Amino acid sequence: MAKNEKRRVRSLLEQIIRHLLLYQYWDLEKSRNANHWSAEIISFCNQINEDLSASLRNHLQENFRIIYSNALDYIKAKTKLTNLPELCPYALEQI
């Protein structure tokens, strides 16, 4: 499995998690951005499903905590929200 493939699916998963967190927790911006966030989630899911193999799925599962942590760091810096969960509220299978 190529390093680029791993990096791509990790990045897509992180983007999905970022947008899920924004949609669920950033109430101040939700009315303005909900449609954009929803569309981005769908787009990233479609892209990740095109590339997802069993080995890439295993790679995502093994790195899920790190991917969530990276997404969380980004959202905290962007929004200054303090109500974000430290553990991912979404299962990989849900995403």
Q: What pLDDT does 18 receive?
A: 98
- What pLDDT tens digit does each residue of the chain (95 aa) get? 689 999 999 999 999 999 999 999 999 999 999 999 999 999 999 999 998 999 999 999 999 999 999 999 999 999 999 999 999 999 999 99
Residue whose pair of structure tokens reads 């929803």 in the numeric block: 38
Give me 81's structure tokens.
């929200």
Structural Rg of the chain based on CA atoms: 13
- pTM for the complete prediction? 0.95
Phi, psi of 66 (to 5 degrees): -65, -45
How far is the C-alpha of 69 from the C-alpha of 77, rounded, in Å?
12
